[in-house]
Each structure stands twice: as C-alpha cells, then as structure tokens.
C-alpha cells in the first residue's frame, strides 16, 4: 500500500480517488483536516476498505512511526501543506510549521523506516514530495519557462516555505540516500478545489452574484493544469522516476488572470445564463504578487512519457460543470470557517 499525506485536500482527494479508480492497492490517508481538508471530498469511498483515513498531523512523529510499522507502505506521497499564498501573507506561521517543520519531521521518520527495510523493499521504497513552480520565483513576459535547473527565488511566505521543504528533501537524498523524488507543478484547477483560489472563487462568487475580485491589472500569468493530469503525472513519477531527480509538471497553458475570469463568465453564461461579466471588479493588488509562472515540462515528457490529456478548454468546461452540479458541496464549505476568512480578506482587497 501507499501512504498519502493531505489526501482530504484538493489535489490529495483527487489523487486518492484516481488511485483507487485504477488500482486495488490500498491508500492510507493521513490528514490534519485543516480548513482545507474536507472528508466530503472522499464520500464516494465510504465503506471502501481500500481507503484508510487517519486523522493526524505530519508533525506527529510518533503517530507516523506507528502507522509505518502497522501498514508497511511501499511509498509516501507527500501532499500535506498550507497552500494558499494570500493566507501565507496574512499568517505565515502555519506555513513554516507544516510546510517546513512538518516536512522535516515526516522525512526524518521516513528515513528511519526506510533504513530498517531490507533488500527489495528498501530498494523499491519512494518518497514523492509534491511541490510547486512558485519556488522558482517570477518570470518576465518573454523569459523562457522554468526548467528543473532554474534557480530558486521564492517571493511569498508560501513559496519560501515550499522551497525550504524541497531543499530538505534534496538533502535527505544527497546525505542519507533516501529515495526521494520532487515534483514542481504549475497552478491546478478542477473538482474539490477550495473556493479561495482564483478559479473556484470566481465560479462560486459569480453564481451567488458577488463581485469577482481581480487583483491589480489582472495581467499576471499562470500556467494552468487540470488536476487529474497532475495526479497522473505523480503516479508516473512514482512508477518510473529516478530517485534524487526533480520533475516539472505543467499544462502548456499560460493565461493572464483576466482572461481566465472572462472564460469562466462566458461558460457560466452558456450553462446557467446571466450577465456575469458585470461582476468583475479590479481590487488592490496582492503584496509581492508574482507576475508570471510558466513550466517547461519537456523533461517529464522525454524521460517518463507523460503529457497532459486535457486542454484548458476541456478542463475548464468540466470544472465549471462540476461546481454547477455540486452546489451542496459549496454550501457545506461556506457554512464553515471559509465564511469568516472570505469576509476579512475581501474587505481588505476591496480597499
Ligand atoms: P489544499 O490546501 O487543498 O490541501 C492541503 C491538505 O493538507 C488539506 O487536506 C489539509 O487538511 C492537509 N494538511 C495541512 N496541514 C497538515 C498537517 N500539518 N498534517 C497533515 N495534513 C495537513 O492543497 P492542494 O491545493 O491540494 O495542494 C496539495 C499539495 O500540492 C501542496 O503541497 C501544494 O503545495 C502542492 N501544489 C498545489 C498546487 C495548486 O495549484 N493547488 C500546485 C502545485 C503544487
Ligand atoms: P491563486 O489561485 O491564489 O494561486 P497562486 O497565487 O498560487 O498562483 O491565484 C491565481 C492568480 O489569481 C494569482 O495571480 C492571484 C490572482 N487572484 C485574483 O486576481 N483574485 C482572487 O480573488 C484570487 C484568489 C487570486
């Protein structure tokens, strides 16, 4: 079996669902259930003995040691993190505690577990660390996309914390030989994304007639990847990646934010007619806002044969439909802590 951390979050839940749709190999899912962890994402697995959910923190070494001893996973897929840049600007502490200290604690326990394995089990063990393209910093408009050797220049507390965790993972491979792999992926979108991130926030706000807050001039560029494509890339890296290597994962889909918002308004207008464009509102920019991210995903294609399946047009249509069909999920999220966060946050940006 495999151990997934953060499997109740956006990418984690998609990963667990995808994994169990394709294989009967059980998953132990360790998640702290922060505001971003939502077990409703995994409701379709209720009663499925292949999914073992453990409520816990990656900082809790004793709990992880017990888990490893009990279940003997052949791999750890590490997704647990604080993941939202705006939150990291307001309250960076949790990012340091989970993304840096938590990753260190998990790595350290994984190392002792791996060292005690023998023969084939030791050889086959993998620690896959799921990271972000934001560690590379910001690109000018015409600069070439990030390759795996691009220098780390993180600009937000979020990206700095992820960069630190990447460096620790690298060090555990280099110093101790732990068979680690690092993936640096661009912005994901799809089902179950918490509606604080750009795409779900715009869909959810538009459907309830709320303003669509575009930071600054809306010309910041992100490289969008449909979440299921990210999941297939992680599976491929686990299966065939070389320990010690880093793989960039991207969608070959660079778009400025304002274009994304217009595409969402057009799609919503087609599927649930109303004038959504009039809700667009330019608001105060995010401090230190990175201008452009772009991933050069040629290495993973060349070495592991992975390419995304979805185009932005097909992926965004599926995503908008999903949010339209799952308004109960959105309502459930809204009744939680999310409401408090969005109120204080939006007031600031509305300036
Ligand atoms: P998310 O915020 O939706 O989910 C994070 C999950 O981790 C939640 O279920 C949360 O409860 C859990 N968690 C947080 N702290 C924990 C702790 N201390 N112990 C155990 N569980 C904890 O995040 P996401 O968007 O699904 O991102 C998953 C991973 O992928 C993160 O490492 C993130 O940096 C990376 N990533 C995300 C994107 C993106 O666009 N969302 C892109 C590239 C990389
Ligand atoms: P986000 O989804 O938070 O991801 P990240 O900051 O990790 O790239 O934001 C994506 C882009 O959208 C980013 O340039 C900030 C911008 N943005 C807005 O313009 N308005 C919003 O309300 C949000 C949440 C993001």
Complete DSSP assignment for 209-267 = T--EEEETTS--EEE-EEHHHHHHHHHHHHHHPPTT-EEEE--S-EEEHHHHHHHHHHH
- pTM here is 0.96
| Residue partners of 237: CB distance under 8 A and separation at least 6 | 128, 181, 183, 247, 300, 304
The residue whose C-alpha atom lies closest to atom 33 belonging to ligand 1 is 83
Residue 139, CA distances (Å) to 131, 161, 259, 283 in order? 18, 19, 19, 23
pLDDT band of 336, cuts 50, 70, 90: confident
CA distance 17 to 8: 10
Cα 18 to ligand 2 centre (Å): 26
Q: Provide, rounded to the nearest whole percent, the portion of the chain with pLDDT above 70.
A: 96
Cα 275 to ligand 2 centre (Å): 22
CA distance 249 to 225: 8
pLDDT band of 139, cuts 50, 70, 90: very high
Structure tokens at 86: 């705006």
Tell me phi and psi for residue 62, to 5 degrees.
-65, -45
**Among 83, 85, 106, residue to substitute to test ligand 1 (most atoms within 8 Å of Cβ):** 83
**Among 5, 35, 41, 79, residue to substitute to test ligand 1 (most atoms within 8 Å of Cβ):** 79
Ligand 1 atom closest to residue 12's alpha carbon, by position in its atom list? 26
CA distance 80 to 129: 10
Are the C-beta atoms of residues 4 and 41 closer than 8 Å to each other? no
Pick the CATH number of 2-189+226-252+288-310 from 3.40.190.10, 3.40.50.720, 3.40.1280.10, 3.40.30.10: 3.40.50.720
Q: In a 10 Å sphere around its CB, with 0-12 CB exposed, 13-18 middle and 19+ buried, how is residue 116 labelled?
A: exposed
133 is catalytic: yes
158 is catalytic: yes
Are the C-beta atoms of residues 126 and 2 closer than 8 Å to each other? no
Residue range 150-163: mean pLDDT, rounded: 98
pLDDT recorded at residue 4: 98
What average pLDDT does the structure give for the chain? 95
pLDDT recorded at residue 278: 98
Exactly one of 82, 86, 134, 296 is catalytic; name it: 134
pLDDT recorded at residue 265: 98
Are the C-beta atoms of residues 184 and 148 closer than 8 Å to each other? yes
pLDDT recorded at residue 345: 47
pLDDT band of 338, cuts 50, 70, 90: very low
User: Which residue shows structure tokens 């030989």?
Assistant: 177
Residue 343 pLDDT > 60: no
pLDDT recorded at residue 344: 53
* Helix spans in the chain (H): 10-22, 61-71, 85-90, 93-95, 103-116, 119-124, 157-176, 198-207, 227-240, 257-271, 298-304, 312-325, 327-334, 338-350
pLDDT recorded at residue 335: 85
| Residue partners of 35: CB distance under 8 A and separation at least 6 | 194, 336, 337, 338, 341
Q: Which secondary structure element, helix H or strand E, spans residue 186, and what is its range?
A: none
Residue range 185-211: mean pLDDT, rounded: 98
The residue whose C-alpha atom lies closest to atom 9 belonging to ligand 2 is 198
Residue 349 pLDDT > 80: no
Structure tokens at 287: 């401090």
Give the pocket of ligand 1 (CB within 6 Å).
5-6, 8-12, 30-34, 36-37, 57-59, 79-83, 98, 102, 130-132, 162, 185, 187-188, 194
Complete DSSP assignment for 335-348 = TTTHHHHHHHHHHH
- Rounded to 10 deg, the angle between the 198-207 and 312-325 helix axes is 50
Task: Give 131's strand partners.
Answer: 184
Residue 277 DSSP label:
G
Residue 174 pLDDT > 70: yes
pLDDT (tens digit per residue) in 231-276: 999 999 999 999 999 999 999 999 999 999 999 999 999 999 999 9
**Domain spans of the chain, in order of start:** 2-189+226-252+288-310
Counting ligands in written order, the one closest to the CA of 96 is 1
pLDDT (tens digit per residue) in 200-218: 999 999 999 999 999 999 9
pLDDT recorded at residue 248: 98
pLDDT (tens digit per residue) in 291-311: 999 999 999 999 999 999 999
pLDDT (tens digit per residue) in 51-104: 999 999 999 999 999 999 999 999 999 999 999 999 999 999 999 999 999 999
């Amino acid at each position: 079996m495999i151990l997934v951390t953060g499997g109740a979050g956006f990418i984690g839940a998609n990963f667990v669902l995808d994994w169990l749709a394709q294989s009967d190999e059980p998953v132990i899912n360790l998640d702290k259930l922060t505001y971003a962890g939502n077990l409703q994402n995994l409701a379709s697995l209720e009663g499925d003995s292949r999914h073992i959910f453990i409520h816990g923190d990656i900082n809790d070494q004793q709990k992880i040691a017990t888990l490893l001893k009990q279940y003997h996973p052949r791999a750890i897929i590490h997704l647990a993190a604080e993941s939202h840049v705006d939150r990291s600007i307001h309250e960076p502490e949790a990012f340091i505690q989970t993304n840096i200290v938590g990753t260190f604690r998990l790595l350290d326990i994984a190392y002792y577990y791996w060292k005690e394995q023998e023969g084939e089990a030791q050889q086959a063990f993998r620690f896959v660390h799921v990271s972000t393209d934001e560690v590379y910093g910001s690109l000018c408009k015409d600069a070439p996309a990030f390759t795996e050797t691009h220098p780390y220049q993180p600009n937000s507390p979020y990206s700095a914390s992820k960069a630190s965790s990447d460096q620790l993972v690298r060090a555990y491979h280099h110093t101790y030989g732990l068979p680690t792999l690092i993936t640096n992926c661009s912005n994901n979108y799809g089902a179950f994304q918490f509606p604080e991130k750009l795409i779900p926030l715009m869909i959810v706000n538009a459907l309830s007639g709320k303003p669509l807050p575009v930071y600054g001039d809306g010309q910041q560029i992100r490289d969008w990847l449909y979440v299921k494509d990210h999941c297939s890339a992680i599976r491929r890296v686990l299966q065939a990646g070389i320990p010690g290597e880093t793989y960039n994962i991207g969608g070959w889909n660079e778009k400025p934010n304002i274009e994304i918002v217009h595409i969402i308004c057009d799609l919503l207008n087609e599927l649930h007619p109303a004038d959504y464009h009039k809700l667009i509102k330019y608001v105060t920019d995010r401090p230190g806002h990175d201008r452009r991210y772009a991933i050069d995903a040629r290495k993973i294609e060349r070495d592991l044969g992975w390419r995304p399946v979805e185009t932005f047009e097909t992926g965004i249509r599926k995503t908008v439909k999903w949010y339209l069909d799952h308004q109960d999920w959105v309502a459930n999220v809204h009744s939680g802590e999310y409401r408090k966060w969005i109120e204080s946050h939006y007031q600031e940006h509305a300036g």
